[in-house]
Amino acid sequence: MMDCDSIARWYRWLEYLGFGRALERRREAFLGDVADARRVLALGDGDGRALVALRKAMSASATAVTYIDYVDISGKMLELARARAGTDVIAYHCDNALTCPLPDSEYDLIVTHFFLDCFEEKYLELLAARVARAAAPRARWVISEFRRSGWLVRCLYLFFRVTTGLCTARLVDHHPVLTGYGFRLLRSESTWCGLLASELWLRENPDRASCILE
Ligand SMILES: C[S@@+](CC[C@H](N)C(=O)[O-])C[C@H]1O[C@@H](n2cnc3c(N)ncnc32)[C@H](O)[C@@H]1O
């Protein structure tokens, strides 16, 4: 399992050093499309910068009284997130996204930024199955991800292996997995020659997901 406690405080600066503001732009790409969400599940959400941006977008939306469940396995990441984004509408859970309790058919927005790449195929399947079960009909799923393997992604996996104990060694394509659980890709944007992508998915076919889960 990945343990980001030791790098949590430096994570933001390491990111800026490697990518400038490019990852932040990916995280914020579709915020305007989902600002009306009411129940949000943010998995592996890290140090809270994405939460702050989400809250800002939502506060500009007329409909929003939003409740957000934040789940991250790193206590240090969670502390940073809580200090940044506050506690009024966000419940913080220091837990494993693969095993934590989740309600059925509850969330109309799921958020995962640079998180799916932490998982090997069988765990990605498990995660998608859990998200599909927790998602309300027509829930949206906002994803930021690396979309192309190459030396930079290999270096990142090596860095995370050394600093956090991450066992995953290669990028798994999440598209067929999400499609298999009844999600459809609505929009996507990429930068850095296709390396970095932002995606907006819609849960369209709940029956399909539950068939696979049985
Ligand atoms: C690469 S970081 C991305 C953090 C943040 N989403 C971002 O965009 O900066 C991965 C995050 O996922 C968390 N994480 C890794 N495995 C997890 C798991 N099984 N359950 C919950 N969180 C996990 C880590 O603690 C870390 O905060």
pLDDT digits (tens, 9 = 90+) for 102-112: 999 999 999 99
- For range 81-92, the mean pLDDT: 96
Res 1: pLDDT: 80
Tally of structural domains, the chain: 1
d(CA 174, CA 69): 22
Res 148: pLDDT: 85
The residue segments making up the domain with residue 188 are: 5-213
Tell me whether strands 107-113 and 39-43 are parallel, antiparallel or unpaired. Answer: parallel
Q: With a 6 A CB cut-off, is 167 part of the ligand 1 pocket?
A: no
Q: With a 6 A CB cut-off, is 44 part of the ligand 1 pocket?
A: yes
Q: Which atom of ligand 1 lies closest to the CA of 123? A: 19
Q: With a 6 A CB cut-off, is 115 part of the ligand 1 pocket?
A: yes
User: What's the pLDDT band for 207 if we cut at 50, 70, 90?
Assistant: low
Query: Which DSSP helix (H) or strand (E) runs through 187?
Result: strand 183-191
pTM for this one?
Answer: 0.95
- For range 127-147, the mean pLDDT: 97
pLDDT tens per residue, range 39-64: 999 999 999 999 999 999 988 776 66
Q: What strand order describes the sheet that includes 90-94? A: 90-94, 67-72, 39-43, 107-113, 135-146, 196-203, 183-191
d(CA 67, CA 37): 9
Q: CATH number, domain at 34?
A: 3.40.50.150
Q: Please state, for a pLDDT cut of 90, what percent of the chain lies above it.
A: 87
Tell me whether strands 90-94 and 67-72 are parallel, antiparallel or unpaired. Answer: parallel
